[in-house]
Structures are given as C-alpha cells and as structure tokens.
A and B are shown apart, each in its own frame.
Chain A
Amino acid sequence: MSSKAEAPPRREAGFSVVGKRNRKVEGRKKVTGMAVYADDLVFPRMLHAKILRSPHAHARIRGIDLTKALAHPGVLAAVTGKDLPVPYGIIPWTRDEYALGLEKVGYVGDAVACVAALDELTATEALALIDVDYEVLPSVLTIEDALAHEDEPHQVNPFAKKGNVSKHVALAFGDVDGALAQSDVVLEETFEYAGSTHVPIEPHCAIGVPELNGVITVYTSTQVPHYLHRELARVLRMPADRIRVIQPVVGGGFGGKSEPFDLEFCVAWLALKTGRPVKLLYTREEVFYAHRGRHPMRMTYKAGVTKDGALTGVKSRILIDGGAYSSFGLVTTYYSGQLLTAPYRFPAYAFDSTRVFTNKPCNGPKRGHGSVQPRFAFECLLDMLAEKVNLDPIEIRRRNFIGDNVRTVNELRVTSNGFLQCLDVVEKASGWKERWRKLPYGKGLGIAGSMYISGTNYPIYPNDMPQSAVQLKADRSGRVTVFCGASDIGQGSDSLLAYVVAEELGVALEAIRVVAADTDLTPVDMGAYSSRVTFMVGNAAIDAAKKLKKLVQQAVAEAWEVPAHSVWLAAGQVGTWDDPEKTIPPAEAFQLAEAKFGPLGSVGAYNTPKDVHGSYRGGTIGASPAYSFTAHVAEVSVDVETGFVKVDKIWLAHDCGRAINPTLVEGQMDGSAYMGFAEAVMEEQAYKPSGLHDGPSLLDYRIPTSMDCPDFESHVVESVDAEGPYGAKEAGEGPLHPSVPAIANAIHDALGVRLNQLPFTPGKVLKAIAARPGAWKGVG
C-alpha cells in the first residue's frame, strides 16, 4: 500500500514547483462538495429529457408515432432520428451512427427517440407512450456469426464497406516466417480477452442552454469538448461559431466519455426547439449501453526465440468484436498490432487484425486503448518461451530490451526508455529472486512489461494546426490566468497547467487561475485521450509562459538597467543575477511589463514532430512523440479448492519521464493497476443470447470495492525525455497494461497452469487445475 518515488538527485536542482507534491488546484472544491459537475447545474425553466431505447438487438424502424407522447401533460417536445439525419462519428472516415436511430437500431439499448418534459418522471412516462413500429431483424452477436452472415438482413452496420467487417489491417515487417523457421523454440497460443466497461462513477449528463442570437451552449461530461463541438455543428447543421461546449468538472472518464453521445445532440436540439434549457442525465443502466469499452479480442500469437532467449519473430492474428458502430475502431484495429513493438526488440513482425460489427453496444477506447489485450497475450507467451529456454522471465525481458533512441520494427521512434530500471525496481521490491518459483503451491509471482504512447502524432482529423494551445493573461495584481481547452477528468490536467505556469513565471500556485475546456473562452486542445495531456498541454504551457516571461524580463531589465537574461522569475520573486540584494514580487514586475508593453498576454502551442512515423500506409497510427514504459510484479494466492484468485499485491514501476507531481503520477499508477486487476479477475461486459446486457447495474457488473483490491506499491522511474515538458511523459494508461499478464503469469507460478481466457474466474481456474496432467480428479 505504500508508494514512494525514486527521486534522482538532479530533480532538486532548479525546480520550485515541478517534482513537488503540490495539492491539486481544484482539490479543495472536491473535498468540500463544492465542485460543480454537470448534474449539479440548474437553469431557470430547465426541462428534463429521457431517451427511448431499443428493446431489440437488431431491427428496422418502420415508423415512430409521437402523438400520444406529445399529448402527455407536461411534455414539451420530442425528437427522433428524422430530425437529426446526419451521420456522425469520432473518426472522420467512419461516420456511421446517428444521434437517434434513423432507419435501424443496432443493439439493445440503442437510442430511438427523446422527450423533453417539465420533470424527469413525466419524460419517463412519455417514453412509454411512443409507438415504434419495428421490423425485427436477425441479429449477429458473436464474431463467428458476424463473419458467417455478412449480407442483408444480417449486416449490422449499413455503412460497412463489406459485410460485417469494420476494419481489416494486415502489416508485415521483415520476413517473419523465415525468422520463425530459424528459431530454436516456436510457440503458438490463442488468448481471449473479455470485454469490460469504464464505469465512471458519474453517469453521463448534458444540458443544452439556448442563448441569444441562436447560439446554443452544451454543458456536458465529456473528455473531448473540441471533437464534440465539431460533431455538434455537423449534426445540428449549424455553424460551429454558434455552438459553445463547456465541460464542467467530470466524474471520471477512462475513455468512456471521449466521443459524442446521443444525449448531447438531443439536449441541444430540444433546447433549440423549446427555447428552454434541457438536461439529460443517464441512468446507470444507460451508461452500460453507451459503453465504448474494452474490445473483446481473440488473439493467436506465434513467436520464436533462440536458445539464448532472443526473440526472432512475432506473428499474430486478431479478431476484434466491435459492437454495432465504429467508434474509434479504425484506430483500435491498428493499435492491436502497432503498439506491441517495444520494450522488446522484434527482428520480424506481422499482424493481421479484423474488427467486426455485432449487434451489441459499441466498443471503443478504454484506458490503454487497443493495446491492453495484445499485451496480455504477448507477455504470457513470452513467459512460456522463457520457460522453454530455461530463463528467468525477468531475464528474458532484459535480454530483449530494445534500448532508447531507437526505431521499432514498425518504425515507431522511441526516445527515452526507462524499462530496464522498471524491471530492476519491481524485481527488488517484490523479492523476486528469493521468491519466484519458491513459494508454496497456490502462491505465485508473475512479471510483465509494456509500453504506451504519450499522445498521438496525428490528431483525429487531419490538420496542420497545433495539437494543444495555451493562452496566458497576467495583470498588475500579480495574477496569471491560464486559458486552455484541455479536459481535466480527474487526472490533474488543470493542475498540470498551473504547475507549469507557476514554474516558468515564478508565481505562487495560489496566484494562478485556470480556465479550461470551454470552447468560447479557451484555445483548442484535442482533449483527454491517448495519454496526450501532460506531454502536449505541458509543452504548450511552457511555450506560452516562456513568451510572457520574456516580456517581464525585458521590462525589469530596462527598469533596473541590467541585461534581460540576468532577470530570473522563481519561487514568488523576481530578481537579477547581477544583484543578489535586488528582488521584487511578481506583481511589481508585471506592472513594469504592463507599463512597457500594455496589457500582458501570450499564446503558446505544441505540435507533434511530423517526420517520425512509419513510411508505410498506416505508419502514422501508433506514432507518438514519446513512449512510457512499465513493469509489474503481481503476487497471487489461489484457493485451489474454490478456484478463487486473490491478488495480494502488485508492485509497479513506471517510466513517466519525469514526475511533474509524484503524488498525481502514483495516483494514475495505482488507478491503472487497479483497473487492470479488475479486468483480470472480476469484470466482464457480458450479454445474454438475445443481446440483452447481462446485468447493467453495479450490483451485477461487479467492480472492486475497498475489500477486493490488492495492495498497490507504485514506484516512479524517471528517464527524463528530451522532448517532454521538463522530461515528462504519460502516466495515465501505460501502467494498466502489465497488470493482467502479470497476474496470469503469477497464477502459473502458483499452480503450474496457464489461463489464456479472461477473466480468471474460479470456474476457469478449477477447470485448468483439473486439466493438468496427473491432476487429482476428486474423490470417487
């Protein structure tokens, strides 16, 4: 349970904010109940809306009769797909869903119509009065069904180019078959990763507020205000300059709020129609239907090693269950292959991934998007290979380390890489050398490693504008206001902005105000996804702050008759190297600058390097300005009579480049390991044969309570990236990846059996024990 940072001595040199365990800027609001989330907002004359959802997994909508619903006392307006007939989608090439079902519904829970009424209860009553004429179609619920029945009426998504294939990617790097043929050991295994969902504790909520002059404001619990802004303009057929998106405090995202949802279009349309504010709050059940969670994947991996444990080639075939729509699926399909190529060197590599449409809630990006599943498969296979060549599984990982400042086999540019240190730290902390393969039957240790992106080199829609921008305003009071479109979803985005600006301008954190995620007020940032915020927003903030700092330095230098470069701003003081006695508070320095230059402001931006991706089609996907690296050791105790897997502890070490705030980095690491642990042993987004969700509630879909969790011991490793802000890289998603394979490998150490199918529930464990050669088959 303890957490501690491995602090290199150099951090103390020269930083006054960076590397310190500062509080979060909004922390006090959150511990006093004063933080305002979407559902906490109330507007005069506000209406409440509810969405009617499909009871069928697959059906054609022949007609919708709103007459009775509209006549219900207290109902003011209703909307159907015909009012919003423009397809949208987060990826511009796969706009394949409608705000409300237009001609079809694709899963149980798909949106059909929406009603606005004086209160929530009246709106709910009105839903029962809507007559929908469905023509029920045969549904496809499995990958096999989707591939076997491709044509009408089995085609799930009419936008699909062919049958039920959402996306197919096949890429090969080097002669993988030749490499495998020359290996001393080759193994092939199939793994199945179950779907799971994000479960932010805050259900999605949106409010549409009609403003003067035909402007519409949408307050919503989103991670991507900018992308939502674009899609709202598209679907509402309004100029983007008439639409304002404001993200209030968001109660958790994890990828589950990173694209537009039906409710945002509905509240905007209904607010414009009625001229009144309209709020829509999902029920917990609806959150399970909105989903966009972890894709189920069936993955067959073949890999070879030399007798010394050097990887020769890796090859995979992956089938991905996409659900009814594309969401980020194009990217998911690429990521399933692209993001496996470090921290180990692959001399040759090939993958063939196919995402299919099925009549289930749409899968999308959940923390560690697209790469958590392949990572599980590969790290288990690597353990098996280590065993075959008689190597300690940590040793085989060290031997195959790809190094820093290298290109991967698929041409991703890796800069800093602290993976070896991560291995060292968890090996030592867990007592690996003394305990692995030496614990009693039922107890075991397992290791796994991983890498992840710090944002994507290319934004979701092609453009040459900055990926992140920050605007600063400083005034004679000494205050600095930071404007940025970035989304704080609990990870500390607002605090990051404040820390960076405080570091650069030397002002106290209390003198900084952060205005974020409001498309009217803040310069565009792409949002909180792909672990991009620290790297990109941090760099944009440094750029803006350095420009403002220059103005202050010039003005102070002129007043004091010293060189501008001698003027320093740090720790709540402005001074000059030329005269140690001379210091003034920032407010006085700002006044000098305001007198010289007029009102003080600056803008800064970050854009990704554009020449560091693969030179093949698809080579841009997976390219990131920097990669983070992680290693976990998990310890498990398996009850061999019940098959229950208790994860006792996870030691994790994560190379985040530099921890701008170690407390927040550890928090991301603990939370990532937690989420991976939950996917390993508890969670599954499962469906009944009819396509109905197996239990869309927190009583049925069990997430870990305080009693279920292992201890997490998070160790920060700092490789100090040359391009990251102060050397920082991501920390929010990478540390999830190794949890699952580390637990799987620990179960193997405990029992001598391999579990290739998630989650590791007691039934599967008992079956695996019983299937062991020579296993005790029970009495009688």
Chain B
Amino acid sequence: MLIQLNGEPHALPGPVTIQELLDSLGIDARTVAVEVNRVVVGRATYSQTTIGVDDEVEIVAFVGGGAPGCAKL
C-alpha cells in the first residue's frame, strides 16, 4: 500500500500505526510532530492511530530558524 510521506510516495506492507511507522523510520517520537491528512495527531495517540492507503502523512521537527527561506511543507 502507498501513502504520501512528507510529499513523496512511500510504500508500506499494510496499514500501520503512527508509532510503527516512526519505529520503522528510526525516528524518536519525542522529537517530532505528525500530521495525517492535515490534522495534527496527539503524541499520546500514536499507538492507536492507524495510517491507511493514500493517507497524507507529514513528519516535522524543529530546525534552526529565525530567518525564513528553508523548505516548506
């Protein structure tokens, strides 16, 4: 199954939870925020929230800033 992950197609074996997706990507859940289909998902519910086919997922983190010009969402 395909999802859109940070703007790119991403293949998954089947529906997974956000926590499982983060684990598979080696991302520490405490350092990021996750949006599914433009709705922010609370960190406490990552293990209960399932990502399905064609879902648009954004994983973001804090980077150095104060000056604009970096890549956008």
A, B from the same assembly: no
Binding site for A on B (CB under 8 A): none
